Amino acid sequence: MFSPLLESIIERENWPVLTDKTVDDFINTNGETVLFISGNAKRFPESNDVAVILPEIIKATRGRLKAAVIATDSEREIQKRFHFNKFPALIFNRDGGYLGVIPKVLDWADYMRAIPEMLNREVSEIPGFKMPEGCRDEVAKAISAKKKNIEKDTLGIHAEPTDY
């Protein structure tokens, strides 16, 4: 479910709402595209900021970009495919090929630097998923603890001492 603001912008701009099943047809047949993944506006209030900024980005690129919005029930599949880790996100493509992603909200000047640079590069493979710094440390600790428990179980060593 989109925020009321995003719903009104989708209607006003006549943007298609895509699913993980329909996104390929859109990015393969519309030249340079930008996909907007809003995330939950209550959890990510900046998604409404990006919703307001995106029509201005389209105008600034003189219609070079075609925009679409990803349906909320397809956001996780699109996130897995394009390997971004922050919402909201703008994903840029050319003729079905990946150009890059801009997560979160930026200052206007930063958009105006990042987008032309992205549109002037060659398409590339989607980069691997990068876990945020804090998460990486926690995952490493959890994996290490799990390995220790598995080693203890394998050796017949139990964590609880036994009285003899």
**Which pLDDT does position 63 carry in this prediction?**
87
Query: Is 124 domain-assigned?
Result: no
Structural domain including 36 reads 4-119
pLDDT tens series, the chain, 164 aa: 899 999 999 999 999 999 999 999 999 999 999 999 999 999 999 999 999 999 999 999 998 999 999 999 999 999 999 999 999 999 999 999 999 999 999 999 999 999 999 999 999 988 876 666 665 566 666 666 666 665 555 555 555 544 44
Domain count, the chain: 2
Based on the fold, state whether residues 135 and 103 are members of the same structural domain.
Answer: no
pTM (2 d.p.): 0.78
**Which pLDDT does position 161 carry in this prediction?**
47
**Which pLDDT does position 162 carry in this prediction?**
47
CATH of the domain at 28: 3.40.30.10
Based on the fold, state whether residues 113 and 138 are members of the same structural domain.
Answer: no
Q: What is the 3-state secondary structure (H, E, C) of the chain?
A: CCCHHHHHHHHHHCCCEECCCCHHHHHHHCCEEEEEECCCCCCCCHHHHHHHHHHHHHHHCCCCCEEEEECHHHHHHHHHHHCCCCCCEEEEEECCEEEEEEECCCCHHHHHHHHHHHHCCCCECCCCCCCCHHHHHHHHHHHHHHHHHHHHHHCCCCCCCCCC
**Which pLDDT does position 89 carry in this prediction?**
98
Based on the fold, state whether residues 152 and 71 are members of the same structural domain.
Answer: no
